[in-house]
């Protein structure tokens, strides 16, 4: 089944008023009789850690251990006498060891926890790699190019270092596993027999990395049990959206039959705005696709519907990009920021910085910094009234810095120090921001999907001219379209492109007041 974002937006917009009222009545009755999802959402949780990031980090660490020992022992025993043969041996054996470790499957959370079995496998593989290296030296008749003491020393110190590293890793991963740091908190949608079968299949695999938090169902009370395979029914799909806004949720699995496409689309029209992975259970479906069409949770086949846009290593790369590039830009623009701060202070009484609550990642309320551009007694923290041309609330300096977007520069503090903004992303909007006197989320179906990633100081919409006053519904609709395009097509190169184009976009000031 192919799911398109436009289908979901149309599904959300096409619901009739009678159907909506009926659903709301059912949900009110549901909440009155079932444990509310928000009660479990408030429970304290340990921060989740990406298994992909950990396994990738371990690969890098072990490569550095092996190569570093080869170089270090050579320097200690033979001095700085490297030649092409030595460098080729260090590079070749290090990469061969990494590839061999990958082939014997010692890079997984389960392998990290079970030290004795997988540690022995690691050491055996390390030994085989060295034996192959020794054989190659013998067959190529290049033994005179290498020190036997160095090679034997490298083998034994490498074995000892890898053993010590894996022993420490087993303890660390064991503690993190017991704390639930690698669990993917999962909600099941659907409370029928297919849900029972899916839950039992997942529970039968004790090491699948999934922790089921509960079951959600879009049907009314009479057809929805209180418990499904031992897990509580926490509410409707609408409750699931609220739940995901208030606690960590990583994965949603639909167990609704694939044939019920209309029902699935209606539910997805609510859920696709969340920054989570959404999967469709395929284990009980009569539809049989080629094995490559499925992904797997443990051994259970599922169909991918939506993925969290920026996750695992992408999240690490974007975080590093924000910190390093953001700090560099802040240092470069420090004189300009100091000059603006002085001008604001001299122009009117009040603080230099203005703090405003805005919507951030996953609708979280964040506080962003700006240079104050309005008179203190006329400030509008909620942006209930749009700033218009020649707005009397704006100071003399405020008109200049708003026109040139210099008032946004303190948001670099949010990027570098607070971490609740990115350099590039959908612009965070104020709580009461309106287009043609209607709140943004009332104008655009699926508006909150732009909060699937961290907001940014600049974005794809801004460099395409969609910044400033939103006096018409089309302007906010176009902004959201550009924001969703950015989310679906994110890359570091795309971020660099947007940053490079931002100064030129700021020259177009006709919509900035």
Can you tell me the distance from the alpha carbon of 176 to that of 230, in angstroms, rounded to the nearest whole number? 26
What's the CATH architecture for 5-45+183-306?
3-Layer(aba) Sandwich (3.40)
**Nearest-10 crossing angle of helices 148-178, 115-140:** 160
- pTM, whole model, 2 decimals? 0.81
374 exposure class (CB count in 10 Å sphere: 0-12, 13-18, 19+): buried
Kindly give the confidence (pLDDT) of every residue in the chain, 513 residues in length, as a single tens digit, with 9 standing for 90 and above.
445 555 555 555 554 344 444 444 444 444 444 455 655 555 556 567 888 999 999 999 999 999 999 999 999 988 888 888 889 999 999 999 999 999 999 999 889 988 888 989 999 999 999 999 888 888 887 777 778 889 999 999 999 999 999 999 999 999 998 888 888 899 999 888 888 988 998 888 877 788 899 999 887 666 678 888 889 888 888 889 889 888 889 999 998 877 677 778 888 888 888 999 999 888 655 555 566 667 888 788 888 888 898 988 999 999 999 999 999 999 999 999 999 999 999 988 889 998 888 989 988 889 999 999 888 877 666 565 666 677 788 888 988 888 888 999 999 999 999 999 999 999 988 777 767 667 787 778 788 889 999 999 999 998 988 876 666 788 888 899 999 999 999 999 999 999 999 988 877 766 555
Strand order across the beta sheet in which 295-297 lies:
227-228, 231-235, 210-216, 184-189, 251-254, 277-281, 300-306, 295-297
Domain ranges of the chain: 5-45+183-306, 51-178, 313-505
Cβ-contact 458, 465 below 8 angstroms? no
Cβ-contact 74, 150 below 8 angstroms? yes
């Amino acid at each position: 089944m192919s799911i398109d974002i436009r289908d979901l937006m149309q599904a959300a917009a096409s619901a009739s008023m009678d159907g909506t009222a009926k659903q709301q009545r059912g949900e009110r009755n549901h909440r009155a009789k079932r444990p509310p999802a928000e009660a479990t959402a408030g429970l304290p949780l340990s921060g989740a850690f990406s298994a992909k990031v950990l396994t990738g980090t371990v690969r890098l660490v072990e490569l550095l251990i092996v190569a570093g020992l080869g170089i270090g022992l050579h320097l200690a025993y033979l001095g700085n006498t490297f030649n092409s043969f030595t460098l080729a041996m260090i590079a070749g054996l290090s990469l061969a060891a990494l590839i061999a470790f990958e082939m014997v499957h010692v890079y997984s959370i389960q392998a990290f926890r079970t030290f004795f079995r997988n540690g022995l496998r690691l050491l055996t593989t390390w030994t085989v790699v060295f034996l192959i290296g020794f054989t190659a030296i013998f067959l190529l008749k290049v033994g005179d190019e290498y020190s036997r003491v160095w090679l034997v020393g490298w083998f034994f110190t490498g074995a000892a270092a890898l053993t010590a590293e894996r022993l420490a890793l087993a303890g660390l991963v064991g503690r993190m596993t017991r704390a639930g740091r690698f669990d993917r908190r999962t909600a099941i949608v659907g409370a029928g027999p297919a849900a029972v079968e899916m839950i039992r299949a997942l529970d039968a695999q004790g090491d699948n990395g999934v922790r089921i938090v509960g079951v959600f169902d879009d049907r009314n009370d009479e057809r929805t049990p209180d418990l499904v395979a031992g897990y509580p029914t926490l509410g409707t799909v609408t409750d699931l959206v609220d739940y995901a806004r208030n606690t960590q949720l990583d994965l949603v699995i639909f167990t609704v039959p694939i044939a019920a496409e209309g029902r699935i689309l209606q539910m997805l029209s609510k859920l696709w705005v969340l920054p989570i992975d959404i999967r469709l259970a395929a284990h009980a479906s009569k539809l049989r696709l080629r094995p490559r069409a499925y992904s797997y949770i443990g051994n259970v086949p599922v169909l991918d519907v939506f993925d969290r846009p920026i996750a695992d290593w992408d999240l690490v790369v974007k975080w590093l990009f924000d910190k390093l590039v953001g700090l560099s830009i802040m240092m470069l623009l420090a004189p300009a920021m100091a000059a603006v701060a002085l001008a604001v202070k001299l122009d009117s009484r009040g603080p230099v910085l203005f703090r405003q609550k805005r919507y951030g990642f996953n609708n979280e309320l964040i506080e962003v910094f700006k240079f104050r551009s309005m008179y203190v007694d006329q400030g509008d923290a909620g942006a209930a009234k749009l700033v218009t041309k020649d707005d009397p609330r704006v100071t003399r300096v405020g008109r200049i810095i708003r026109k040139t977007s210099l008032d946004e520069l303190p948001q670099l503090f949010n990027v570098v120090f607070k971490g609740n903004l990115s350099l590039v992303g959908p612009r965070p909007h104020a709580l009461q921001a309106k287009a043609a006197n209607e709140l943004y989320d009332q104008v655009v179906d699926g508006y909150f999907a732009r909060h699937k990633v961290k907001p940014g100081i600049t974005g794809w919409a801004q460099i395409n001219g969609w910044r400033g006053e939103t006096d018409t519904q089309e302007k906010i609709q176009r902004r959201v379209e550009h924001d969703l395009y950015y989310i679906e097509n994110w890359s570091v190169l795309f971020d660099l492109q947007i940053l490079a184009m931002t100064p030129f976009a700021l020259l177009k000031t006709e919509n900035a007041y």
